[in-house]
Structure 1
Amino acid sequence: MLSLSQRLDGLETLLRDVSVELLRERRIERRWRRLLSLAWFGLVLAVAWATFSQSGIHPSSPTTPHTALVEVRGELAMDTEASAENLTASIRSAFEDESAKAVVLRMNSPGGSPVQAGMINDEILRLKALHKKKLYVVVEEMCASGAYYIAAAADAIYVDKASIVGSIGVRMDGFGFTGLMDKLGVERRLLTAGENKGMLDPFLPASEKQTALAKTMLNQIHQQFIKVVREGRGSRLKETPETFSGLFWTGEEAVRMGLADGLANLDYVAREIVKADNIVDYTPQEDVASRLAKRFGASIGAGAVQTLRNLSPVR
């Protein structure tokens, strides 16, 4: 049996070991905090450097005559690069610049939201009337569906012979799971206030009435699309029963159909049509600072969270 003196010695040793361990963990915690502070400071310096160095890449307000370029890339939808908010702001800046002799939209888009396309089309028509300045479209890979809705507002559309052009139609897609649910013995329970609130629910059998309502809505949007194309292309359009059927064609065929005006690329249009071969890009760009903040901020933030989780904080 241990004596009182031995017990006290053991307790003293235990307290000393605990104190040493607590001090060691505090030193580790302080060391990690210093490292994280240095990392964040480095990130701030990198963002600041990128922000200030970025100012010399593109002239913010060119004073020499030039062709104003706006890229239309990807899907037309909210919160995308090709949203109406982003594109109309860029197109507006291009029109308002007195040194820009004309505006060119370079198209590489399969289309998307008819609402976004309609907003951009309306704004182009307004700006053309206000500034008495021409807008041209140059198609590279694709100008289909909603993208062509926008292009119809142009004074002229130029394509590559292999570009994809057209798809003047409207679609609504989804899935039906009723057969699968029957096999699995799953029952769908949907409570609504309003006869058509559950319209086109994929877990319920399709209703003839609701399907007819949806088709009516699609036809209305389709007629809006057709009206925009007819007004934009005018007598140049060689309309056939297939023109508004949703089909798409090569650029070469689109020229024959009056959906486009000729074969040309951006440089040719700037040099020969606009007569200003200096091209200035007005497309909204995600600057280097934003990319650094997203990339390094996310990785540092994740590292910080993991580090703090691994520490044993002393309180």
Structure 2
Amino acid sequence: MSDSDQRPPGFDPQRNPAPDLWAAGAPASAPAPAAAPAAASEPGWERAALEGLARSVLAEQRSARRWRIFFRLAWLLLAVAVAWGLFYQSATTPSKSAPHTAVVDIKGEIAAGAEASAELVVAAMRSAFEDEGSLAVVLLINSPGGSPVQAGIINDEITRLKAKYNKPVYAVVEETCASAAYYIAAAADDIYVDKASIVGSIGVLMDGFGFTGTMEKLGIERRLLTAGENKGFLDPFSPQTEKQREYAQAMLDQIHQQFIAVVKAGRGDRLKPTPETFSGLFWTGQQAVELGLADKLGNLDYVAREVVKAEDIIDYTRRDNVAERLVKRFGASIGAGMAKALSSSAPQLR
């Protein structure tokens, strides 16, 4: 029997080919791998990816830098605005206003470069006198003293301004009004104190140190070259001669007499001098009133309300601005300390 006779009826070998038995026994083929990304098939795709990453990093850095610059400028503008505001406040003088009591603070050491320097105090007093609304000027004093030169400048200016503007000047003492501070107060029309204030110390001193004996014990030789017999006068490492001591004492006595003359001229008949008045002693406010060194007990509010009859108080005190304070604190303080050490032998009313 032939193969064709064994096929079922209606079977078409063209449409239904016989299965391949060898292929049926073969293992199923593995699935085709996924197609690679299109970028991977392009040449130089790695370089393009790196360039994109670099551009992204640079953009972030530029953005961070812009923000840093913005914040720095903002802080700088804020600091400038604050400094300008404080400077403007300290530099401008009060405008002409309603009747009031003008106040000028004299606090701390009276010295050049200090807040109680003649430069700042005189400028404040001029502004106070020039204001038509000020009925009187009150010097609010709390100072242990200082330079007789600075005090003398302020004292002279008080006398001049009183005569020019015909306005009274009152000194109001808080804790202390001694030496150079009292030199200034003596020019006031009246001096008001608290019963426990410290007042007086009408005297002059010149202080320093001598290290000659110590240097000899330590075997240290002072090598000082001068041109002029007295150029090394008051040098702490050189011995003081009797002639130099007498010269310094005569200078102090002269300044002391100037101080006494200023006090007598300012206090006049109100002063009740005793052998101790000009000895450099100081007294309480209550004692000062009894000795004629002060007039009455009273504070700033009392003087403004009861004496000046103008309860409104305007402060004309000149103070350093922010920039000046920073310079003094962080830089100039070193130079100031050196200058102070070099000038420590200058006469002082304290």
CA-CA distance at 1:200 after TM superposition:
1.4
Q: 1:146 to 1:49 in 2, by over 3 A?
A: closer
Map of 2:316 onto structure 1:
282
CA-CA distance at 1:61 after TM superposition:
1.1
Query: Which of 67, 85, 88 is the equivalent residue of 2:119?
Result: 85
Structure 1 position 45 matched with structure 2 position 78: yes
What residue identity is the alignment partner of 1:209? K
Task: Check whether the contact 1:104–1:135 (CA below 8 A) recurs between aligned residues.
Answer: yes
d(CA) in 2 for partners of 1:286, 1:51: 12
Task: Check whether the contact 1:165–1:251 (CA below 8 A) recurs between aligned residues.
Answer: yes
* Unaligned ranges ≥5, structure 2: 1-53, 331-350
Structure 1 position 190 matched with structure 2 position 224: yes
Matches within 5 A, 1:22-101: 35=68, 38-48=71-81, 51-52=84-85, 60-101=94-135
Matches within 5 A, 1:130-279: 130-279=164-313
What is the aligned residue count? 271
Residues 43-90 of structure 1, C-alpha deviations (whole Å, 9 max, x = no match):
323432564599799982141000000010100001110000000000
Residues 154-186 of structure 1, C-alpha deviations (whole Å, 9 max, x = no match):
000000000000000000000000111011000
Task: Check whether the contact 1:47–1:292 (CA below 8 A) recurs between aligned residues.
Answer: no
Residues 186-222 of structure 1, C-alpha deviations (whole Å, 9 max, x = no match):
0111111111110011111111000100001101110
d(CA) in 1 for partners of 2:240, 2:172: 42
Task: Check whether the contact 1:47–1:293 (CA below 8 A) recurs between aligned residues.
Answer: no
What residue identity is the alignment partner of 2:283? W
d(CA) in 1 for partners of 2:319, 2:205: 31
Q: 1:171 to 1:33 in 2, by over 3 A?
A: farther
Q: What root-mean-square deviation, in Å, do the aligned CA atoms of Structure 1 and Structure 2 show? A: 2.9
Q: 1:159 to 1:203 in 2, by over 3 A?
A: same
> Among the aligned pairs, what percent are the same residue?
63
d(CA) in 2 for partners of 1:43, 1:237: 57
Which sits farther off after the overlay, 187-196 or 31-40? 31-40
What residue identity is the alignment partner of 2:298? A
CA-CA distance at 1:40 after TM superposition:
4.6
What residue identity is the alignment partner of 1:39? R
Aligned residue for 2:115, secondary structure, equals coil
Map of 1:123 onto structure 2:
157
Q: 1:142 to 1:52 in 2, by over 3 A?
A: closer
Q: TM-score, normalising length from structure 2? A: 0.71
Task: Check whether the contact 1:200–1:207 (CA below 8 A) recurs between aligned residues.
Answer: no
Q: 1:200 to 1:166 in 2, by over 3 A?
A: same
Task: Check whether the contact 2:107–2:143 (CA below 8 A) recurs between aligned residues.
Answer: yes
